[in-house]
Structures are given as structure tokens and as C-alpha cells.
Structure 1
Amino acid sequence: MAIDTSLLIEFAAATLLFFITRFFIRSLLPKSSRKVPPGPKGWPLVGALPLLGNMPHVALAKMAKRYGPVMFLKMGTNGMVVASTPGAARAFLKTLDINFSNRPPNAGATLLAYHAQDMVFADYGARWKLLRKLSNLHMLGGKALEDWSQVRAVELGHMLRAMLELSQRTEPVVVPEMLTFSMANMIGQVILSRRVFETKGSESNEFKDMVVELMTTAGYFNIGDFIPSIAWLDIQGIQHGMKHLHRKFDRLLTKMMEEHTASAHERKGNPDFLDVIMANQENSTGEKLTITNIKALLLNLFTAGTDTSSSVIEWSLAEMLKNPSILKRAHEEMDQVIGRSRRLVESDLPKLPYLQAICKESFRKHPSTPLNLPRVSTQACEVNGYYIPKNTRLSVNIWAIGRDPDVWESPEEFRPERFLSGRNAKIDPRGNDFELIPFGAGRRICAGTRMGIVLVEYILGTLVHSFDWKMPDGVEINMDEAFGLALQKAVSLSAMVTPRLHQSAYAV
């Protein structure tokens, strides 16, 4: 009975706070200076939360058609502004970038990312800048990527041989499992000087499941984030799942770091990424990195580094299986440029414009992050003549921008050719062209943008060049989406492959 009473008190307090925020505080401001953007009315207390459904990016895109490119939604006791066109995204992520450079507090940052001690959720400041600088210098930047190109080649070779064995047994390739296994090992070689998974099996499959669960739960709209007074109730059960998942990841990361420390003598004079980070715990900036910071950073790199690129490659292959003429044209380009006597190498990529167009089209239609990670306004500001209050959350609907008919002709069609000529030929996904921002833009653009583009182009190109692809007999391609921080296929792609290169190419 005591629990029921306290529950009623919490709901009553939250309701009172909601009405005070909505009516009293707003009434104190001059009406001429506080016209917020249009948006749906929503429900009492919870606001627009119930309107988002299971596919928030789709629901918000539909709302934008009614309310416009900049919408304001009351979400519990919080306000959220949504940008749904390139112009609106540019206003927030370029013109007002510094005002929207922080993340709002949320359960994912607290319960998964070690209380926002990582690079993804940390406040914009000295520690975030240090983590980003070290990551760029030693793993994610241009020079660093060149330095570990051989690692990518070797691990991709392992994947090709595993796929060849499946083809010889006439067994299908489960694409996301194969990709996650390979990418985790690529990242493990750079961070820890070793493969994370020696053989593909239950351990690597569990890691894949953990990554998908993290990216899914971190993308949920958690009621407790928007109505803090009832967060303790964990109505959706999200927080309980996050705590359990965090413990599993923490055990894995702790084991990795302990084994890495024990083998330090083997890397004398040849430090890996973790060695560099550990050596920079005390640094010239005066910012101290704790073991928790380092664990949180590793969590970022292993999860985002595998899942986002993996999902784009899987969507690309699915689209080519659905549109065989695209696969045929890609094969023709590669046979002309590379031939069939050797594997694709990264230096081939600039000579493969159609492959690059396929990747851009996948970034457009199937962005790995459909809604950018939330940001929050440090100060009140104005956009398109509308007032945006302080502490308003910002969500940029990257998925909606990629399907905007005012920007893209026939946006629902998968047409790589759109990037081969005209104004679209110069569009680049690195955050400067707001028509195509799969990695976001501005100060908080994804730190792994360069790496993501390299991995998608190189791995997808190699898979397409090395094999013919077809669906198993009697199986149709399922193109349904599953919403999360990363946009997964609802049904994993499983396909039959047939080698198309000289046998010696698979032994490299």
C-alpha cells in the first residue's frame, strides 16, 4: 500500500511540474519573443512521447510534413526541437553548433557509458577534446588509418576464407555476424594488438548480440529521461536492461585490459592504441584520464566501430540483391579496373566511382544513425524566426533528410547513379553537405567518420568483387527496419555466395 501511495505522489508531483512548466513559466515571457516552432499537442504529462511509436524516425518524418522542417515537441517536462531538412540541420549544426554541443542527461549515458565518462556522451570540454584528439591521432584520423591498413587487409582475408568455406559447403553467409566478427578483430588488433575472437563461434555471436542490444536500447525514448520524477519506476524496463548489459560489457572490457597489461612486455617499443591512452592518463593539458574514462572510450570504439559500418554494408548488399542490375554493374566496373586475378586493395577505391556511389546511396537511404544522438541548447536561441528555449533537446532526423523529395528525386528508390553526375556528384558524406550527413555534422560529428567511410567502401567493395551473391532458394529479401541508435535490418541478411576470383586471390 505504501508503494501505491508514493507512486501517486510521484505522479501528482510530475503532473504539477508539467503544468507549471507549460503554462506558468511560459506566461512570464513576452509572447512576441517566445513563439516556439509548431508541433503536435501531445498528451497531458507525457506530451508527444506516445506519438513516436516503435519507429520514431518515421513518425517524426510524417509530423514534419504537417508542421514543417523545424518542429517543437513537448516531451514530458522537456522540450525537443526536431530538424528534418538540410536547411534546418545546417541552422542547428553549423550556425548554432556551439550552442548545441552538449548532450542532455539520459539513462544510456549514465547506465551504459559509465556516467558519461566516454567520448560520445561527455560534455563538450577539456576531457572530451583530449579523448577525441588521442583517438584521431592514434586510430581514427587519416594518418592513423593508413598505419593500420594492413590489419584491415589481413582480417578481411580471414573473412573471405571463412565465406569461401561456407560456399563450398553450400551454406548461407549470415552477413551481420560475419561482419561483426571481422570488424571487432580489426579494432582489437589496433587497440589491443590481438584479435578479440580467434574463431567465429558462440563468444563472437554473444558479442554481436550485446552490441545490437546496446545500440537498440540506447536509441529508445526512455520515459524516465523526459519525466525525471518517475525515472525510478523504470516503466519500460529499459534501465534494468541497461544495467545488466553494462555489467556484461564491463566484465569483457576489464578482462581485455587485464590481459593487455599482462602482455605489455611483448609490445616494448611498439605500443598499440591502449598503450598510448594509458600513457596519457597524466598529460600536458592537465586533464586526468581515469581507468573508467578509458573503459568508456573502448566501449565507444568497439560498439559504434562495428555496428554502424556493419549495418550500412548489410543494407547495401540487400539492396543489390533486390536490384541485380546494380550488382552486375558493380561487378563490371571492378572486373575492368581490378580484374579477377587478385583481391581489391584500398588504393583501388578512388578508381571505382560506381562502388562509391553505391555507398553514398546506402548512407542516404539507410543511414546507420537515423536520428542523430541528442544535443541540448546551452542558451535560448532563435531559428527560422522561432524561439528555442534553453535546455531544449535537439534531434536531427537524418533518415528524413535522406528521403526528402524536395532534395532527392524518387527518394524511395535505390539509385546509385544519382551520385555520378550533376550537383549530387560533388556531395560528400563527411558533414559539410547537409543533404547527406549520415555521421552528423559540426563539433559533435561522429569521431569515426573517416574510419566508417573507409570500412564501408573497402569491405563492401571486397565482398562484391570476390563473390556472386544470391538469396537462398525460396527466400525473399526482407527490407524492414528495426529502430535503434543504429538502423538495423529487422531480419538479418543471409545469402549464398559463389567465388568469382582466381583461387589464389583467396589465399592472400
Structure 2
Amino acid sequence: MFSVSELRMSIPAMELLLAATIFCLVLWVVRASRPQVPKGLKRPPGPWGWPLIGHALTLGKNPHLSLARLSERYGDVMQIRIGSTPVVVLSGLDTIRQALVRQADDFKGRPDLYSFTLISDGQSMTFNPDSGPVWAARRRLAQDALKSFSVASDPASSSSCYLEEHVRKEAEYLINKFQELMAGPGHFDPYRYVVVSVTNVICAMCFGQRYDHDNQELLDLVDLNNEFGEVTASGNPADFIPVLQYLPNSAMDNFKELTRKFSVFTQKMVKEHYKTFEEVQAGERQVGQGSKWCQWPGGQR
């Protein structure tokens, strides 16, 4: 049992320990919120930001206007922090051209955000911080495929290429659909019809398949894409405040579910392509074997 005098002596010690703990925590937060600048480099100018949240409150609901005002004070190259993540902000046409055109290789990378690791298991070509030789090879492969699609043509078609053919078919469908709606209700919102048509052209380019506009799988894909755009546009605090990755987050759970659905859809299409590719190969082998038999009419060889 503690006596009254011993208890009174222990209270200042507890207060001292609590104060030391708070001081160490604050010091850690301040140090963590000030990213280290490599030796020989100078940190760009910028406003003072709060620990842990950075300049999130400064940007407000209209960040473009806030950044324009800050650039008038700190120049065309300045640094802010969103959470604990440093962000370099470029303003002015000449500055942006210098970075994105003249020094494109230095600025072609993407931020290493936590949410990016959840898309395609971190192997996405668009949402990936990697800009090395593997990423460059994949990018060239995709560019060559899109270029071939926009150059190659069907001999039986009057279109100049497959891309034009798909766009023409979708445009014809849209015109007929709009005329039908005008003859019926007389008014309609064209947004969803246009989005579905654009999605159909992309599906034709990526999957070699056109869907009917009432196809539920296509409509689900459009809805998924809209949800994904809304979630990514609103931003994810866990990308900029790492500790939030380990806390319950309904927005992050929703984002994970969206990426899972996208992955299921693409994997299904990939498996179907593998299946049809194997069927085509099997048919070519049979044709090849048949041609050999024709070359040897005197017996089986």
C-alpha cells in the first residue's frame, strides 16, 4: 500500500513522464512532417504548414484558387505538403513547359501512393510510380497495339481502319437511338448513351468485342468506371497520412471493392482470350495436319 506522502511524490513523476511522452510525440510528428532534402539540394520555397495535416486546410474547397494566390507570393516553383507528403507545385506556362517538355524524363514519374498499390496488385501501367525500362516496354507494347488498331483495316469494310469502323457503327447506333427517343418521349439526357458508346469503342479496342447497349455486363462496367472516377477524384487521405492506412476507413473499403470488381472483369476477359487463342491454334494445327496428308496420297506419314 502507498502512503499519502508517497502518492503525492509519485504524482509529479507521472506528470513529468506524461509531459516527456507528449514532447517526444510532438517532436516525432514535426520531424516526420518535414521531409529530408538530399544533400546538395535546396527545398523550394513555400508556406508554413501544420504538422501531420500539412496544407490541407489552406487549400480549402477551391485548391486551384488557393495555389494561384500562393504562387504570387512564393513564385512559379513552390512546395506544399498534403498530409506528410511533399508536393511541388508548378505555375506559369514557361515553367510547366520547362518541366513537362524540356525535362520530360525528370518529371515522367508518378507519386508512390498507397491506393495505387491496390489497383491491379500494384502492376497497373497508369497507376504505378515505376517509370523504368519495364514500364517503358509495356507502354511501347500498348502504343504499338493501339497504332495497329488505328491503321489495320478489314478488306471487306469501306472504313480506313478498325477504329473508324467501330466508331462509325457506334455513331450510327447513337443517331438511330436519338431519333427513336425524340419520336417517343421527345426529350432525353444523352449523357449515358454517349458514355456507353464510348465504352463500347474502348471494349472493341481492348477486348475485340462489341456489346449491345442493353448488355448488363457493359452497364456494370460503365457504373464501375463512374464510381472509380468519383472515388479517385475525391482523393484518399490515407495516401498522404500513412497512419490512416491502419484505421477503419469506409472509403478505402469501397475503393478496394471497386478494384476487385475491375480485376474480376479483366481476368474474365483475359481467360476468354486465352481460350479462343488456344481454339484457333488447335484449328490451325488440324489444318496443317490435313495439308500434310494431302501431300502424301500414297499412305500415312
TM-score by length of 2: 0.70
SS in 2 for 1:130: helix
Q: How far, CA to CA, are the matches of 1:153 and 1:266 in structure 2? A: 30
Q: How far, CA to CA, are the matches of 2:146 and 2:25 in structure 1? A: 45
Give the counterpart of 1:86 among 93, 97, 114.
93
* Counterpart position of 1:249: 262
Q: How far, CA to CA, are the matches of 1:12 and 1:170 in structure 2? A: 69
For these two proteins, the number of residue pairs brought into alignment is: 252
Q: Tell me if structure 2 keeps the 8 A contact 1:119–1:131.
A: no
Quote how far apart the aligned CAs of 1:181 are: 0.9
Q: How far, CA to CA, are the matches of 2:277 and 2:35 in structure 1? A: 61
Q: How far, CA to CA, are the matches of 1:29 and 1:127 in structure 2? A: 29
Q: 1:17 to 1:114 in 2, by over 3 A?
A: same
Higher relative CO (Cα under 8 Å, sequence separation at least 6) belongs to 1
**Alignment of 1:225 onto 2:239:** yes
* Counterpart position of 1:503: none
**Alignment of 1:209 onto 2:223:** yes
SS in 2 for 1:117: coil
Q: How far, CA to CA, are the matches of 1:18 and 1:42 in structure 2? A: 12
**Alignment of 1:162 onto 2:177:** yes
Q: Tell me if structure 2 keeps the 8 A contact 1:48–1:75.
A: yes
* Counterpart position of 1:469: none
* Counterpart position of 2:122: 115
Give the counterpart of 1:73 among 77, 80, 84.
80
Please give the per-residue CA displacement for 1:417-444, whole angstroms capped at 9, x wherever unaligned. Answer: xxxxxxxxxxxxxxxxxxxxxxxxxxxx
CA RMSD of aligned residues (A): 3.3
Q: How far, CA to CA, are the matches of 1:13 and 1:216 in structure 2? A: 39
Quote how far apart the aligned CAs of 1:122 are: 4.9
* Counterpart position of 2:10: none
* Counterpart position of 1:37: 45
Q: 1:110 to 1:29 in 2, by over 3 A?
A: closer
Q: How far, CA to CA, are the matches of 1:113 and 1:84 in structure 2? A: 33
Q: Tell me if structure 1 keeps the 8 A contact 2:163–2:205.
A: yes
Please give the per-residue CA displacement for 1:210-259, whole angstroms capped at 9, x wherever unaligned. Answer: 11221222233322222223322255x33212101012112222222233
Give the counterpart of 2:251 among 212, 233, 238.
238
Q: 1:22 to 1:192 in 2, by over 3 A?
A: closer
Paired residue type of 2:113: N
**Alignment of 1:172 onto 2:183:** no
**Alignment of 1:125 onto 2:140:** no
Q: Tell me if structure 2 keeps the 8 A contact 1:37–1:72.
A: yes
Give the counterpart of 1:95 among 102, 107, 129.
102
Q: How far, CA to CA, are the matches of 1:200 and 1:156 in structure 2? A: 16
Between Structure 1 and Structure 2, whose CA radius of gyration is higher?
A: 2
Q: How far, CA to CA, are the matches of 1:201 and 1:138 in structure 2? A: 26
Please give the per-residue CA displacement for 1:378-401, whole angstroms capped at 9, x wherever unaligned. Answer: xxxxxxxxxxxxxxxxxxxxxxxx
Please give the per-residue CA displacement for 1:178-234, whole angstroms capped at 9, x wherever unaligned. Answer: 122111211222222211x31336544432221122122223332222222332225
SS in 2 for 1:47: coil
Structure 1: stretches of 5+ with no match in the other structure: 1-10, 269-508
Paired residue type of 1:90: R
Q: Write 1 or 2 for the structure with the bigger share of helix.
A: 2
Q: How far, CA to CA, are the matches of 2:62 and 2:227 in structure 1? A: 16
Q: How far, CA to CA, are the matches of 2:71 and 2:219 in structure 1? A: 39
Q: Tell me if structure 1 keeps the 8 A contact 2:56–2:83.
A: yes
Quote how far apart the aligned CAs of 1:66 are: 4.7
Q: Tell me if structure 1 keeps the 8 A contact 2:228–2:258.
A: yes
Quote how far apart the aligned CAs of 1:175 are: 2.8
Paired residue type of 1:255: K
TM-score by length of 1: 0.44
* Counterpart position of 2:54: 47
SS in 2 for 1:103: coil
Q: How far, CA to CA, are the matches of 1:13 and 1:213 in structure 2? A: 42
Q: How far, CA to CA, are the matches of 2:35 and 2:264 in structure 1? A: 48
Structure 2: stretches of 5+ with no match in the other structure: 1-21, 153-159, 282-301
Q: Tell me if structure 2 keeps the 8 A contact 1:177–1:205.
A: no
Q: How far, CA to CA, are the matches of 1:171 and 1:201 in structure 2? A: 24
Q: Tell me if structure 2 keeps the 8 A contact 1:151–1:186.
A: yes
Q: Tell me if structure 2 keeps the 8 A contact 1:107–1:225.
A: yes
Q: How far, CA to CA, are the matches of 1:16 and 1:199 in structure 2? A: 58
Q: Tell me if structure 1 keeps the 8 A contact 2:224–2:258.
A: yes
Q: 1:29 to 1:124 in 2, by over 3 A?
A: closer
Q: 1:132 to 1:248 in 2, by over 3 A?
A: same
Please give the per-residue CA displacement for 1:261-320, whole angstroms capped at 9, x wherever unaligned. Answer: 33337877xxxxxxxxxxxxxxxxxxxxxxxxxxxxxxxxxxxxxxxxxxxxxxxxxxxx
Between 249-258 and 144-153, the greater mean CA deviation after superposition: 144-153
Q: How far, CA to CA, are the matches of 1:118 and 1:25 in structure 2? A: 29
Paired residue type of 1:229: V
* Counterpart position of 1:185: 200
SS in 2 for 1:46: coil
SS in 2 for 1:229: helix
Q: How far, CA to CA, are the matches of 2:57 and 2:276 in structure 1? A: 51
What is the correspondence of 1:486-501 to structure 2 with a 5 Å cutoff? none
